[in-house]
Structure 1
Amino acid sequence: MKRQIIDTIERYDKIILHRHVRPDPDAYGSQIGLKELIAFNYPSKKVFATGTHENTLDFLAHPDVVTDEDFQNALVIVTDTANTERIDDERYKLGSYLLKIDHHPNDDAYGDLLWVDTDASSVSEMIFELFAEAREYKGWKMDAVIARLLYAGIVGDTGRFMFQSTTEQTMNVAGELISYGFDRTALFNGMYEVESNILQLKGYIYANFEMDDKGVGHVKLTRELLQKYKVAESEASLLVSSLADVKGMKCWVFFIEDADAIRVRLRSKGPVINGIAKKYGGGGHPLASGASVQTWDEADRVVEDLKKL
């Protein structure tokens, strides 16, 4: 499969990379990391990364400005996106050939060529595996810019190597990426330093979360509350793992209200919760999933589903 992907990349002079809406470090790491990897090894190719920029990822990278004309006769690669509804920039349909690279359950098998590995810690780890194959197959090389992007994606999706998705392979890949000599301290500062208002919201979460006697927890963050702390929905989503430190917590859900819906962020230390996410039109990994609901009554039903689980 990896050699098929490499051969496909070689056939196209224009390549446009997409990822999911509301991106996280693995979305940028895999998308823009692969973009830079292709451009580094094929300087004559035109390679773009598209999508709406996420301001919290300023430290990591920025997508490109891509025109409709750029999509003509282009190879389109979508990374880290389980289903077509979550692809950022619907113009992915305008390309000549569609390639999906992902590590979520393959419920939506879109694309002309698919590489899905649900055992991978992150798609950034998969991109490194693609590089390792291409290094042997075609002599590909990598630099510190690419290594930094892929490392950030792996760190983000493994929770700094604390999640169960972290494997011996993950650590070996991370070790090789570190050898490229990028500034890890500056990268971690970009990923984990936060403004004081976000820390104050985190304090509110610790003071106001609820947990029942079965270890099911939840927090509701209304628009009014986010406005009070001057925190965006995307910034609040970064705090979802904060309840992992609570003793006795087995699974939990953050409800974060924005202008369009109430975002549902599900996390678990054991029970498989992506079935609940699917019930509400979402999806994701067995222990980390997301969805959206329209009312607080629906949100309460999500909590009841977690308790039944």
Structure 2
Amino acid sequence: MEDLEKAYESSKSRSLSILKHYRKYPSKQAIGFCASKAHASLMARYFTDNGIPSAAVYSSSSKDPYALERAEAISQLQEGKKRVLFTVDMFNEGVDIETIDMVMFLRPTESSTIFLQQLGRGLRLSKGKKYLTVLDFIGNYERAFLSAVLLSKGVKKANSLVSIHQLSLPEGCLYDFDLELIDLFEKIKKSKRTKSEWIKDEYYRIRQTIEHRPSQREFFENMEDELLDIILRESSLNPFQNYLAFLNGLGELNEEEKILMNSMAGKFIHCIETTAMSRVYKMPVLMSLIDQEHQVIRMEVSDKKMLE
């Protein structure tokens, strides 16, 4: 932690990046959560020197020219004398500044509880306040998903490495990851996920790309070659050997389709999926069962139809 604090305190490029992203978004009152007292003081000085009146807020700050006591800092923020308060664990809970319109995470957030507490400092409603901007300068790549996952619906574990394509934010929320970060997310996932998780991720990627639930054929044709090779070698992973069951496991079947899956028709489809097609007569027999003109399955097939 000491090394991390020193790195933050001495990194001019990081300070410049934070300032640059701050200026991208309109903000009248912001809070930045820092790694240490020295880090908070440095950020307050850097922002002030660049035309953005700021103050550091932490305990035992009387000798710091850029620091203010908490009550005074809040008062100056609300009066417009300061635009940003940089703090170290003093605004996690118990303090409500309803007009805060930006929260900046400037240190690694290890705890989901602390993350939500700090995020909550900006979630109070206030007249004229239309939205909250959250800038997360991720410092721990292994928990880079934390902020997105905590805001997402349907994700139970805060440390789950879910796919970007699976994140579903509440109405009115949006996230904007740097492209480099998206690439990093996917690399982390590939290094940690199981083959089964990879198959599910690939399904959701294809589903988003084609904008509807992929058919068996669409899933096969759009799948990454590397994953397809694995599936064809390991039959226990192969979703094409029981595609209805695979879709059901993802919650993608409606009630009518669930009934079909458990019927004789479903068993017949499963039989087709698992039957080896090395014999030359099998495919013509299956094709003869399909009435192409009326798009139905024939209940019986004559020799003539089969020959056709």
Give the TM interval when normalised to the shorter protein.
under 0.3
Larger radius of gyration: 2
Structure (1 or 2) with the greater strand fraction? 1
TM-score, reference length from structure 2: 0.24
User: TM-score under structure 1 normalisation?
Assistant: 0.24
Q: Which has the higher helix share?
A: 2
Structure possessing the higher relative contact order (Cα contacts under 8 Å, 6 or more residues apart): 1
